[in-house]
Amino acid sequence: MALDRWIALIIMMICLVYGYAAFFTMDASLPPFMQRNPIWPSTFPKILSVLAVLAALSVVLGLEASDGKSDASGIDYRKLGDYKIGQAAALLALMVIYALCLRPAGFLISTTVFLVAGSVILGERRWIMMIVVALIATVGIWALVQSVLGIYLRPWPFFLGV
Contacts of 158 (CB under 8 A, 6+ apart): 103, 104, 106
What is the model's pTM? 0.59
Please say whether the beta carbons of 141 and 111 come within 8 A. Answer: yes
pLDDT tens profile 54-102: 999 998 888 876 655 545 555 666 776 777 888 889 999 999 999 999 8
Number of domains within the chain: 2
Of 35, 62, 82, the last residue of a domain is: 82
Among residues 82, 103, 134, the one where a domain terminates is: 82
Residue that finishes a domain, picked among 27, 50, 82: 82
Residues 12/13/17/20 CA torsion (nearest 10 deg) = 60
Q: What angle do CA 86, 92, 97 make, to 5 degrees?
A: 120
Identify whether residues 69 and 47 lie together within a single domain. yes
Domain that holds residue 33: 3-82
Which tens digits make up the pLDDT trace of 16-55?
Answer: 999 998 888 877 777 777 777 777 777 888 999 999 999 9
Same domain, 91 and 153: yes
